[in-house]
Amino acid sequence: MLLEVENLHVHYGNVEALHGVSLMVRQGEIVAILGANGAGKTTTLSAISGLLRSSAGEIRFEGRSIHKTPAHQLVAMGIAQAPEGRRIFGTLTVQENLSLGAFTQTDRVRIAKNLQWIHELFPVLAERREQLAGTLSGGEQQMLAIGRALMAQPRILLLDEPSLGLAPLLVKAIFQTLWEINSAGVTIVLVEQNAHAALKLAHRGYVMEVGKIVLEDRAEVLLANSQVRDAYLGG
């Protein structure tokens, strides 16, 4: 098991946002976490990536307990994320943004190879490498956020709403690339509101409601599930 989350509780001040979330991710999988606004999807992801501290429960990566490890060390261990709202560096160039992603990496030959791979995945990032990231379109910024996370050569990639605010065609293109990334051996955990696109891509899915996991199954089963259809797929 690559990643295991067990009975995770997270508080924002006095308010408990996650009431015991458990999930697991196998090596090589794409796992989607679905749910409405405020269900706790982003909180779950932030807790895994170490940006939020859990108040109870355990997170294990390759069997090692990581819920007390600082975020920057998790990146070096192989957990990279493209956070919610992309959070690219608008005043820096595309190239600089990508080189930040490789901050934990020291092997220059591998970094260059990796950069080349990312440019193949997202040719637009190669075209616009000297451009300030803030001048990119929303879709390109999302590609940059994913590319930056990949620069850390992660074992597992955490994505928070990669489809947010993007045109349907762009969402399709980005999800196609996510599939390519996964084929190259990177495990992906995807938080999404766009349940349809996410379930078409993912192997398995979890559905969250108010801080709890209420459903988990193979993606095609969830796609066919009447409850999921009613709640997230617009009937």
Partner 1 sequence: MNRFTSFAVALFVALMAVAPLFLNAYHVDVLNSIGLYGLLALSLNLILGEAGLFNMGHAAFYAMGAYTAAILNTRYQIPILWTLPLSALVAGFFALAVARPVVHLRGDYLLIVTIGVSEIVRIALVNDVFGITGGANGIFGISRPELFGFVIRQPQHFYYLIWGFVAFTIFLFLRLKQSRFGRALNYLREDEVAAEGSGVNTDYYKLAVFGLGAAWAGMAGTLFAAKMTIISPESFSFWESVVLFMIVILGGAGNVAGVLLAAFLVIGLPELFREFSSARMLVFGLVMMVMMLVRPQGLLPAKSRQFSFAELSNKGSFR
Contact 130, 95 (CB under 8 A): yes
The helix (H) or strand (E) run that includes residue 33 is strand 30-35
Neighbours of 196 (CB within 10 A): 16
In the complex, least distance from residue 156 CB atom to partner 1, rounded to whole angstroms:
14
In the complex, least distance from residue 203 CB atom to partner 1, rounded to whole angstroms:
25
Cβ proximity to partner 1, 71 vs 167, nearer residue: 71
Neighbours of 66 (CB within 10 A): 19
In the complex, least distance from residue 114 CB atom to partner 1, rounded to whole angstroms:
9
In the complex, least distance from residue 49 CB atom to partner 1, rounded to whole angstroms:
6
In the complex, least distance from residue 235 CB atom to partner 1, rounded to whole angstroms:
37
In the complex, least distance from residue 211 CB atom to partner 1, rounded to whole angstroms:
22
Closest CA to 206 of 84, 234, 214, 188: 214
Cβ proximity to partner 1, 92 vs 233, nearer residue: 92
What are the residues binding partner 1 (CB under 8 A)?
49, 51, 70-73, 75-76, 80-81, 83, 87-93, 95-96, 99-105, 108-113, 115-116, 129-130, 132, 148-149, 152
In the complex, least distance from residue 10 CB atom to partner 1, rounded to whole angstroms:
16
Cβ proximity to partner 1, 159 vs 222, nearer residue: 159
CA torsion through residues 120, 123, 125, 128, sign: positive
Q: What residues have CB less than 8 Å from 172, skipping those under 6 apart?
A: 197
Cβ proximity to partner 1, 2 vs 82, nearer residue: 82
Neighbours of 112 (CB within 10 A): 11
Cβ proximity to partner 1, 26 vs 113, nearer residue: 113
Tokens at 57, concatenated: 């429960």
Size (the chain), residues: 235
Cβ proximity to partner 1, 90 vs 138, nearer residue: 90
Closest CA to 211 of 50, 84, 47, 87: 47
Q: What residues have CB less than 8 Å from 195, skipping those under 6 apart?
A: 32, 34, 228, 232, 233
Residue entry with tokens 């501290």: 53
Cβ proximity to partner 1, 134 vs 168, nearer residue: 134
Which residue type sits at 23? L
